[in-house]
Amino acid sequence: MKKINYVNSVQKSVNREFNDFKESELKKTKNEIFNDYYQIYFYEEMSNFLINNDDSLLDTLHWECLNQDKGNILNFMYQYYLKNEYASINNYEDLTDLVVEYNNKFHHNILNKEAIAE
């Protein structure tokens, strides 16, 4: 059985999702784009974090969790971010915390499975 490279899979998915989002935004009016600034900023920061991450900031297990949301990682993370009043995306530490918190909330089954195996 071939082992899945979760980092690579997530990075490809995020890159594709970001490019689709960007293409969609560029079809909008200037005013619509201006109003979407916050989402654009989040997508750019989170995609840069995930795509340029050499996997040292996130455990393999967190990449596996994100892989479950393939195709919607940025969208799901953004929706979670909007509802989390303490979330921040100012630096890589904040982004790491956000991903870990997101995974703990929505992918605890994967995280718990690994904890039980240990």
Q: Could you read off the pLDDT of 21-61 as tens digits, one per residue?
A: 999 999 999 999 999 999 999 999 999 999 998 778 899 99
pLDDT (0 to 100) of residue 116: 55
Per-residue pLDDT reduced to its tens digit, 71-118: 999 999 999 999 998 999 999 999 999 999 999 999 999 998 755 555
pTM for the whole structure: 0.90
**Is residue 1 a part of any domain in this protein?**
no
pLDDT band at 68 (very low <50, low <70, confident <90, very high): very high
Q: Cα 85 vs. chain centroid, distance in angstroms?
A: 17
Neighbours of 81 (CB within 10 A): 19
CA atoms within 13 A on the CB side of 84: 18
Domain that holds residue 100: 6-117
How many domains is the chain built from? 1
**Is residue 101 a part of any domain in this protein?**
yes
**Is residue 73 a part of any domain in this protein?**
yes
Residues contacting residue 64 through CB under 8 Å, at least 6 positions apart: 4, 6, 110
